[in-house]
Amino acid sequence: MNESMSLAISTLLDPERLSGALGEARAASRVRIKPGVSVSASLVDADGVPAGWARILWPAARPKADKTARKARSLGLPTRIRPLPFDLRIQWGGVESDPALMTHIARAAAAGSVDPATWSILRHNPLRRIVARSGGTIVRIRTHSRRVDTALGRYLQEAIPVPERLDDAADPHVCVLSDAGGCDLSTPRGSAEQVLSWNEEAGGLFARLHASAPPLHVRAALAAPAPSTPDTLRVHAAIIGALDADLGARIEALARVAPEAPGGACAIIHADASPDQVLVSGSGRLLLADFDRARMGNAALDVASYTAATGPDAASAFLRGYEQAGGCIPDEVTMAAALLHARALSLADPLREARPDWALRVGQSLDLMEENTHGTH
């Protein structure tokens, strides 16, 4: 294992070591790794409340740290930095000073879209996205934006149940939505019978999405190939292999035999389908959320992604609802390839989620993927 990478990961994933480095009680909740450049993390305090960000930088990335510090000072936001062994540096600050998001947050605050003094942060993906509850609304602030997103949002408002957009979409990095309240299907609040019913209803909503017919200009803008399954695995192998050579070798071996994801741009797909993207409003109404990755593609990718992310009973309920609403259940070979693709995309999630036992969890996922690879041929 690369010693500097080992130090960076162990510092961020061990709350005691991280707290010692920062001088305050903090734990990582989300990690992003750019080998040889930086390892970034969102932070939570001792109560699990989002509390900022930290990143460990290699020497080549020091200009990034200087730029972040200057930009934060111009906005009146503090950041700190200190040296670590192997000529590394650790830099950190509050959520508002996230290196890639601070200007977007400041602009949203100036426009009255969000109040960082009173917001409640629901999710913080460092240098990528913040989702917060503020002033009775849900505000999503992100670094990435697509020209098609506004037109896509308008179309989805008419096609399927989604949270209502409240702003004028003038800022492509900020989206203000109605607050549905309630929960999502990854952490449902209901009886076992009710949860199965909701998953069945979710299957119906995805069938409606896949059967819908967006305008030609939206279809054209969403045309994109599925990420390559073997290439996705190779990216994971490079990062995970730097931390655990045995896991990296297993991922490389899997990449050599993995089929590509099912092709065909026959439907509009969510492209990140999972129970946490299905909201249950306070009144019990289901809504689909977070279409940042939506594109035209094979509907089997959504079906596999959702069922791979939940238990067998919920998956069966989802498939039942999907079929009853007119969705076509993929054939065995297509479904196997789509499931492998979904699991490849999520393979590094335990590491991204800063789980101390990430290596064990990745190994368990590989066990399943290796066992099922024969079903794709």
Mean pLDDT of each 10-residue bin along the chain, 377 residues long: 86 95 96 93 95 96 95 97 96 97 97 94 95 94 89 92 93 93 90 96 98 93 89 96 94 96 90 96 93 95 97 97 97 95 97 95 96 67
Burial 173-187 (b: 16+ CB within 10 A, else e): bbbbbebbebbbbee
Overall domain count for the chain: 3
Q: Are residues 64 and 10 in the same domain?
A: yes
Last residue of a domain, which of 99, 125, 142?
A: 99
pLDDT at residue 374, rounded to an integer:
62
Among 267, 350, 354, residue whose Cα is nearest residue 303 = 267
The residue type found at 43 is L
CA dihedral 103, 109, 112, 115 (to 10 degrees): 150
pLDDT at position 60, please?
93
The radius of gyration computed from the CA coordinates of the chain, to the nearest angstrom, equals: 21
Which tokens go with 323? 């079929």
Same domain, 173 and 94: no
Please indicate, yes or no, whether residues 246 and 225 belong to a single structural domain of this protein: yes
Domain stop point among 145, 179, 213: 179
Same domain (yes/no): 189, 257: yes
Q: Are residues 105 and 86 in the same domain?
A: no
Residue count of the chain, please give it. Answer: 377
Residues 168 and 217 in one domain: no
Same domain? For 283 and 315 the reply is yes
Cα 37 to Cα 356: distance, rounded to the nearest angstrom = 22
User: What are 206's two structure tokens?
Assistant: 């995805």
Neighbours of 35 (CB within 10 A): 15
In the sheet with 183-184, reading across from the earlier edge strand, the strands are: 183-184, 278-280, 286-288
As beta bridge partners, residue 106 has: none
Global pTM? 0.92
Residue 93, CA distances (Å) to 26, 35, 44, 242 in order: 12, 22, 12, 27
Our CA dihedral for 265, 266, 272, 278, rounded to 10 degrees, sits at 160
CATH classification of the domain holding 167: 3.30.200
Are 32 and 104 in a shared domain? Answer: no
Domain of 346, CATH number, reads 3.90.1200.10
Write out the residue range of the structural domain in which residue 57 sits: 1-99
User: Based on the domain organization, do 26 and 134 belong to the same domain?
Assistant: no
**Close Cβ partners of 206 (under 8 Å, ≥ 6 residues apart):** 270, 273, 288, 299, 302, 303, 306, 318, 322, 327
Tokens of 151: 């037109």
Cα–Cα distance measured from residue 210 to residue 339, given in angstroms and rounded to the nearest whole number: 18
> 207 and 155, same structural domain?
no
> Do 320 and 366 fall within a single domain?
yes
Question: Cβ distance 237 to 308 under 8 Å?
Answer: no
Q: What is the pLDDT of residue 376?
A: 55
Contact status, residue 146 vs residue 218, Cβ threshold 8 Å: no
CA distances from 77 to 53, 56, 69, 122 (A): 13, 19, 9, 21
Closest of 25, 290, 38 to residue 177, by C-alpha? 290
Q: What is the pLDDT of residue 181?
A: 85
Q: CA 358, 360, 361: angle at the middle one, nearest 5? A: 65
Are the C-beta atoms of residues 201 and 135 closer than 8 Å to each other?
Answer: no
Pick the last residue of a domain from 179, 198, 233: 179
Please report the pLDDT score of residue 377 as a whole number: 53
Residues 172 and 232 in one domain: no
Whole-number Å distance between alpha carbons of 105 and 141: 7
∠227-245-35 over CA atoms, to 5°?
Answer: 55
